[in-house]
Amino acid sequence: MARLIEAYLDDLSSRLSFDPHLAERMREEIAGHVEDALDASEAPSEDDVRRVLTRLGSPRAMASHYLLDALDRQSERLWWALLTMMAATFLAMRLRTLGLAAPSDGGALLDGLIPLVDRYGLVAAMVIGAAGWLAARRLPAGETLDHETLRRPILVTVAAGLSFAALAASVVAGGARIWLQAPGDLPPALILGGLIAEITVLSLGGWLITLFLRRTLLARALVST
């Protein structure tokens, strides 16, 4: 009997690996529930254990429910993170505009391409992010993880990734402008501080997108099995 229970709990823990704290909590709760259910029988058998586990539902179905809920909650945090990154990038861009010297015969790269990427990288990120958010809102959230409900987290992953890439391009171009156009009397600490702040915000956003991508891939694997 213990072997059946442990196999069920191990399967569930493996499928809930995207959230170790949740996996541990569910393992303890289900183990306690099974123990209480079996205590009601004077001499519980393996058939009794199977009936209790069947009533609980399969580990796959349980993990799918929690994973879908986690994806919905994390997608909201991801949109807010993107909005924060855009605001930080816009603020840094305005500060660069005020603090940088006008380019003097910097060639096509400095006079055209780099400022263009700096400015319109942010615009592209905003457009992609807004379009992705609106499109995701139109897709069904659902309560069961299947191919239909999986479309939403996949769309969020793609839109967030493209928006992040555009923001990263803007930050890189902004760093190049600072390197090439910063006046000599501008304190180095101010230059480095601005770049470090932008990179820190982008790093946090990149981590959130990576985490969301990992959970989306787990959801896709669950649907495919």
Are 31 and 69 in a shared domain? Answer: no
Summarize pLDDT for 82-113 with one digit per residue, the tens.
888 888 888 877 766 665 555 555 555 555 68
pLDDT digits (tens, 9 = 90+) for 175-197: 777 776 665 555 556 666 667 77
Residue 200, domain extent: 61-224
Evaluate whether 23 touches 12 at the Cβ level (below 8 Å).
Answer: yes
* Residue 114 vs residue 186, higher pLDDT: 114
45 with 67, same domain: the answer is: no
Range 59-87 average pLDDT: 86
Q: Are residues 99 and 188 in the same domain?
A: yes
Our measurement of the distance from residue 59's CA atom to the centroid of its chain's CA atoms, rounded to an integer in Å, reads: 24
User: For the CA atoms of 55, 60, 64, 67, what is the dihedral angle to 10 degrees?
Assistant: 110
Instruction: Determine the Cα–Cα distance for residues 166 and 80; give it in Å rounded to an integer.
Output: 17
Domain CATH number, residue 168: 1.20.140
Tally: H helices and E strands in the chain: 8, 0
Does residue 170 surpass a pLDDT of 80? Answer: yes
* pLDDT score at 119: 82
Is 46 found in the same domain as 149? Answer: no
pTM, full prediction: 0.74
Closest alpha carbon to 223 in 74, 73, 71, 75: 71
Number of structural domains (the chain) is 2
Across residues 156-171, what is the average pLDDT?
A: 91
Domain identity same for 87 and 120: yes
Residues 39 and 86 in one domain: no
Q: How far is CA 102 from the centre of its chain?
A: 39
